[in-house]
Structure formats: C-alpha cells, structure tokens
A = this chain, B = another copy of it.
Amino acid sequence: MTAKTAPARAGRADLTRERVIATSIALLNERGPDRVTTAQIAASANINEGNLYYYFKTKRALILCIFDRFEDEVVQFFDKDIGEAAAPDTYMGFLREWFDIVWRYRFLHRDLVGLLAMAPDLRRRVRAISTHARAPVVRLIEQMRRARLIDIPERELDALLANAWIIATYWVVYLDVQKGVRVLRKSHMEWGLRQIASLVAPYLSTSARDWLATV
C-alpha cells in the first residue's frame, strides 16, 4: 500500500536502487532469503557491499521493500475493474496474470515461514491480501453465473474457492520445488491454467466447457 514504486524519472541513485531490487528478486527466487548473502546481492548488482548498505540499512529492509512491491502489484491486480461483458478467455487472461505475479515473487510464498520469523508483521499483510482477494473473485464468479457460464451451489462455493486459492498460489511453488522448474515457460503456464480449469470444469455450463476444450 505504502510502497515506493519504481520512480518515473530515474536519476543515477534511483537506477542503482532499482538494479539492487531487481537483482535481489532474481537471487531470492533462485535460492531463498537464507541462502542469499548481502555480498552476493552487491556483487550481482555490480556495487560494493558497503554501498549496498547506503541504499538499504539492513537486509530485512531490502526484503520488506520487495514485499511492498508485491503487495502493490497484487492490490492493483485485484482492484482493476473487470468489465461486465467478459468473454471466457478474459478469465483465462486474469489467471495468467496472477500466475505471472506469483511466479515473479515466488520466494515470498515458498519461503514464507522464514520471512515471517524475520518480520512477524508480514503475517497480517499476507492474510490481508487473501482476504482482499476474496471479494473480486466472488464478484467474478457472480459475473460468470449471470453469463450462464457456470452453475455452482452456494454451499460448495467456499470449498472451491479455498482449493482454487491453494492451487493458484502453490502451483508455481509446486513447479519450482517439486518439478525443479527454473524458468516459467508458456507450457508450464498453460499446465497451471488447465489445473485450475479442471477444478472449475465440473461446474461449467456445456457451452463453457466446449469453449474450454478448444483452448
């Protein structure tokens, strides 16, 4: 919410700062917070370790700054207006976008335990995000209902949402950790989309299911 996003017009300092952040995200995703040292970050950003501390007083501060960015992206994503007359593939587009965010910040999900130990306050913020996410998703389902794309009994909705949330956030972790995937290729993305689709499939109208089969 209160995050500093990338500056519009960047001076030299801003550029360095951005380079540090970008390079840190890459390293953190690759090896996780506990296996990335400040020395490695500095080296990877082509600056001296001492200089790194000019930009971020602590390693913790750097990681929190990255979390801010993630939070910003997520809030923006969910607050975006979906528009009423959505075609089926609009929904796919959203999912794709979501996977992309989760992938780019996957260490946040994968290594959350460690991060929580470092900054307990993150628990609150992580929870806030999944709470925040619920309304737009429910709205989206309502919309699909009105468009006669889906038909799901009220009492099964909660369980479906929880499952969808777990798959949608842990799918990339699963790819990363269990499958050893290093780069998120289009094929992986499609695979994840199909997983979610298969979750929802039983509740889709025949027309929507036919459409799905063509994707």
A residues contacting B by CB (< 8 A) are: 31-32, 34-35, 110-114, 116-117, 123, 126-127, 130, 156, 159-160, 162-163, 166-167, 170-171, 173-174, 176-178, 180, 194-195, 198-199, 201-203
Contact = CB atoms under 8 A, between A and B. Distances in A.
Q: Which secondary structure characterizes the binding site on chain A?
A: helix
A118 to B, nearest CB: 9
A92 to B, nearest CB: 16
Contacts of A130: 178
Contacts of A177: 112-113, 116, 126
12 contacts: A31-B113, A34-B34, A34-B114, A35-B114, A111-B113, A112-B178, A126-B177, A156-B201, A159-B195, A166-B167, A166-B170, A202-B202
A127 B170 contact: no
B160 A166 contact: no
